[in-house]
Structure 1
Amino acid sequence: MIRYPNLFSPLDIGPVRVRNRIMQTCHSKLYARDGADSQRTIDYYVERARGGAGLLTVDARNVDPTSLSGFSRGYNVGYDPRGRVIERLLTQQVHDHGAAVFTQISHFGLNSASDAADDLRVLLGPSAVKSPVHGEMPKVMEIEDIHAVVDAFARTAEACRDGGFDGIEIHLAHSYLLHQFLSPLYNKRPDDYGGSWENRTRFAHEVIAAVRRRTGHDWTVGVRISLSDFIDGALDISDAIRLGRDLRERGGVDFLCTTGACYHNLSKAAEPSDAPDGYLADLAAQLKRGVPGIPIFAVGGIKDPVDAEQLIATGQADMVAMTRALLADPELPNKAAAGREDEIVHCIRGNQGCMARVVRSLPAGCTVNPAAGREGRLGAGTLVAARQPERWLVVGGGPAGMRAAATLARREHRVTLAEREPELGGQVRLILKTPGRETFAYLIDDLVGQLRTLGVTVETNRAVTAEDVTAAGFDNVIVATGATPARTGFSSVNPLVDQLPGVGQDNVLTVWDVLRGTRPIGQRVVVLDDEGTRYAAGVTEVLLDRGHDVELITPMHALWPGTVGTQDMATLYGRLLGKGLRHRLNSWALAIDGDRVDVVHLYMRAVEQLTGVDTVVLAMSRQADDALYHALKGRVRTLHRIGDCLAPRKLDHAIYEGELAGRELWDPADRFIHEGDLELLRTTGVAAG
Structure 2
Amino acid sequence: MSAQELFPHLFSPIRIGTVTIPNRIVFTGHDTCLPEDGVVNEALVAYLERRARHGTGLIVLQVSGVHDTARYTSHMLMAHEDACIPGYRRLAQACQRHGSVLFAQLFHPGREIMESSDGLKPVAYSASGVPQERFRVMPRGLSRTKIHEIVESFADAARRMHEAGIQGVEILASHGYLPAQFLNPLVNRRNDDYGGSFANRVRFLEEVIDAIRREVGDGLVVGLRISCDERDEEGIGEDVAIDTLRHLENRLDYASIVAGTSASLGGSVHIVPPMTYESAYLREEARSLRAGLSLPLMLTGRINQPHEAEEVIRSGAADLCGMTRALICDPAMPDKARRNDADGIRACIGCNQACIGHFHRGLPVSCIQYPESGRELRYGELGRAETTRRVAVIGGGPAGMKAAVVAATRGHRVTLFEAGRRLGGQANLAQLLPGRSEFGGLVTNLLEELKRAGVEVTTQRRVTPETLIEEGFERVLVATGARPYAPSLEGLGELPVSQAVELLDGTALPGGHVVVYDTQGDWVGLGVAELLAREGARVTLAINGLHPGEALQSYVRDSSVARLHDLGVRMMTYARAFGVDDDSIYLYHTAGGEPMVIEGVDHLVLSCGATPAVSPEDEERWAGLPVTLIGDCLAPRTAEEAVYDGLKAAMAT
TM-score (norm 2): 0.95
Contact 2:489 2:579 in 1 (8 A): yes
CA distance in structure 2 between the aligned counterparts of 1:230 and 1:145, rounded to whole angstroms = 30
Aligned partner of residue 258 in structure 1, secondary structure: strand
Are residue 536 (structure 1) and residue 525 (structure 2) matched? yes
State the match for 2:288 in structure 1: 286
State the match for 1:481 in structure 2: 480
State the match for 2:274 in structure 1: 272
**CA gap 1:652/1:604 in 2 versus in 1, 3 angstroms:** closer
1:649-660 aligned within 5 A = 649-660=637-648
1:126 Cα shift? 0.9
1:400-549 aligned within 5 A = 400-487=399-486, 489=487, 499-502=488-491, 507-518=496-507, 521-549=510-538
**CA gap 1:66/1:503 in 2 versus in 1, 3 angstroms:** farther
CA distance in structure 1 between the aligned counterparts of 2:255 and 2:218, rounded to whole angstroms = 16
CA distance in structure 2 between the aligned counterparts of 1:622 and 1:525, rounded to whole angstroms = 21
Instruction: Provide Cα deviations, 1:466-496, integer angstroms capped at 9, x if missing partner.
Output: 3433343322111011111111x2xxxxxxx
CA distance in structure 2 between the aligned counterparts of 1:503 and 1:647, rounded to whole angstroms = 32
**CA gap 1:530/1:118 in 2 versus in 1, 3 angstroms:** closer
1:197 Cα shift? 0.8
1:568-647 aligned within 5 A = 568-627=556-615, 630-636=619-625, 638-647=626-635
When structure 1 is superposed on structure 2, of 619-628 and 159-168 the one drifting more is 619-628
Aligned partner of residue 600 in structure 2, secondary structure: coil
CA distance in structure 2 between the aligned counterparts of 1:386 and 1:559, rounded to whole angstroms = 45
CA distance in structure 2 between the aligned counterparts of 1:384 and 1:33, rounded to whole angstroms = 28
**CA gap 1:209/1:199 in 2 versus in 1, 3 angstroms:** same
CA distance in structure 2 between the aligned counterparts of 1:58 and 1:138, rounded to whole angstroms = 27
CA distance in structure 2 between the aligned counterparts of 1:418 and 1:622, rounded to whole angstroms = 22
Letter paired with 1:553: A
CA distance in structure 2 between the aligned counterparts of 1:466 and 1:420, rounded to whole angstroms = 15
CA distance in structure 1 between the aligned counterparts of 2:649 and 2:596, rounded to whole angstroms = 50
**CA gap 1:154/1:593 in 2 versus in 1, 3 angstroms:** same
State the match for 2:398 in structure 1: 399
State the match for 2:364 in structure 1: 363
CA distance in structure 2 between the aligned counterparts of 1:664 and 1:442, rounded to whole angstroms = 27
1:136 Cα shift? 2.2
Aligned partner of residue 463 in structure 2, secondary structure: coil
Are residue 34 (structure 1) and residue 23 (structure 2) matched? no
Aligned partner of residue 147 in structure 1, secondary structure: helix
Are residue 24 (structure 1) and residue 23 (structure 2) matched? no
Letter paired with 1:197: F
Letter paired with 2:17: G
Aligned partner of residue 490 in structure 2, secondary structure: coil
Instruction: Provide Cα deviations, 1:304-329, integer angstroms capped at 9, x if missing partner.
Output: 11111111222221111101100101
Instruction: Provide Cα deviations, 1:529-569, integer angstroms capped at 9, x if missing partner.
Output: 11112221011112112222211112323222233x34122
Aligned partner of residue 176 in structure 2, secondary structure: coil
Letter paired with 1:65: D
1:101 Cα shift? 0.3
**CA gap 1:664/1:505 in 2 versus in 1, 3 angstroms:** farther
TM-score (norm 1): 0.90
CA distance in structure 2 between the aligned counterparts of 1:506 and 1:663, rounded to whole angstroms = 49
Instruction: Provide Cα deviations, 1:618-673, integer angstroms capped at 9, x if missing partner.
Output: 1112111114961542122x2111111111112111111111222226xxxxxxxx
CA distance in structure 1 between the aligned counterparts of 2:522 and 2:199, rounded to whole angstroms = 45
Contact 1:352 1:566 in 2 (8 A): no
CA distance in structure 2 between the aligned counterparts of 1:460 and 1:151, rounded to whole angstroms = 65
State the match for 2:137 in structure 1: 136
CA distance in structure 1 between the aligned counterparts of 2:342 and 2:384, rounded to whole angstroms = 25
**CA gap 1:573/1:480 in 2 versus in 1, 3 angstroms:** same
Aligned partner of residue 7 in structure 2, secondary structure: coil
CA distance in structure 1 between the aligned counterparts of 2:500 and 2:226, rounded to whole angstroms = 43
Contact 1:513 1:519 in 2 (8 A): no
Aligned partner of residue 36 in structure 2, secondary structure: coil
Which one of the candidate residues 13, 16, 23 is aligned to 1:13? 16
State the match for 2:182 in structure 1: 181
**CA gap 1:617/1:46 in 2 versus in 1, 3 angstroms:** same
When structure 1 is superposed on structure 2, of 453-462 and 87-96 the one drifting more is 453-462
**CA gap 1:644/1:336 in 2 versus in 1, 3 angstroms:** same
**CA gap 1:416/1:153 in 2 versus in 1, 3 angstroms:** same
- The gaps in structure 2 that reach 5 residues or longer are none
CA distance in structure 2 between the aligned counterparts of 1:596 and 1:483, rounded to whole angstroms = 29
Aligned partner of residue 579 in structure 2, secondary structure: strand
Instruction: Provide Cα deviations, 1:577-625, integer angstroms capped at 9, x if missing partner.
Output: 2212112222222211233211233344432443432221111121111
**CA gap 1:369/1:193 in 2 versus in 1, 3 angstroms:** same
CA distance in structure 1 between the aligned counterparts of 2:632 and 2:83, rounded to whole angstroms = 44
Are residue 81 (structure 1) and residue 69 (structure 2) matched? no
Aligned partner of residue 28 in structure 1, secondary structure: coil
1:516 Cα shift? 1.4
CA distance in structure 2 between the aligned counterparts of 1:21 and 1:601, rounded to whole angstroms = 54
1:522 Cα shift? 4.9
State the match for 2:97 in structure 1: 96
Aligned partner of residue 374 in structure 2, secondary structure: coil
Contact 1:479 1:629 in 2 (8 A): no
CA distance in structure 1 between the aligned counterparts of 2:298 and 2:271, rounded to whole angstroms = 14
Letter paired with 1:558: H
Aligned partner of residue 387 in structure 2, secondary structure: coil
CA distance in structure 1 between the aligned counterparts of 2:411 and 2:592, rounded to whole angstroms = 62
CA distance in structure 2 between the aligned counterparts of 1:506 and 1:642, rounded to whole angstroms = 36
**CA gap 1:66/1:315 in 2 versus in 1, 3 angstroms:** same
1:116 Cα shift? 4.3
CA distance in structure 1 between the aligned counterparts of 2:219 and 2:578, rounded to whole angstroms = 71
Which one of the candidate residues 67, 70, 87 is aligned to 1:67? 70
CA distance in structure 1 between the aligned counterparts of 2:340 and 2:607, rounded to whole angstroms = 44
**CA gap 1:230/1:610 in 2 versus in 1, 3 angstroms:** closer
CA distance in structure 2 between the aligned counterparts of 1:597 and 1:530, rounded to whole angstroms = 15
State the match for 1:674 in structure 2: none
**CA gap 1:136/1:591 in 2 versus in 1, 3 angstroms:** same
CA distance in structure 1 between the aligned counterparts of 2:257 and 2:635, rounded to whole angstroms = 42
State the match for 1:679 in structure 2: none
State the match for 2:223 in structure 1: 222
Contact 2:154 2:212 in 1 (8 A): yes
Aligned partner of residue 157 in structure 2, secondary structure: helix
CA distance in structure 1 between the aligned counterparts of 2:477 and 2:67, rounded to whole angstroms = 51
Contact 2:128 2:190 in 1 (8 A): yes
When structure 1 is superposed on structure 2, of 595-604 and 271-280 the one drifting more is 595-604
CA distance in structure 2 between the aligned counterparts of 1:94 and 1:604, rounded to whole angstroms = 56
Letter paired with 1:538: G
**CA gap 1:629/1:340 in 2 versus in 1, 3 angstroms:** farther
Instruction: Provide Cα deviations, 1:50-91, integer angstroms capped at 9, x if missing partner.
Output: 01000000111101111121x3x2101001222211111111
Aligned partner of residue 555 in structure 2, secondary structure: coil
Letter paired with 2:349: I
Letter paired with 1:20: N
**CA gap 1:164/1:232 in 2 versus in 1, 3 angstroms:** same
State the match for 1:333 in structure 2: 334
CA distance in structure 2 between the aligned counterparts of 1:520 and 1:35, rounded to whole angstroms = 52
Are residue 49 (structure 1) and residue 48 (structure 2) matched? no
1:455 Cα shift? 2.0
Letter paired with 1:523: G
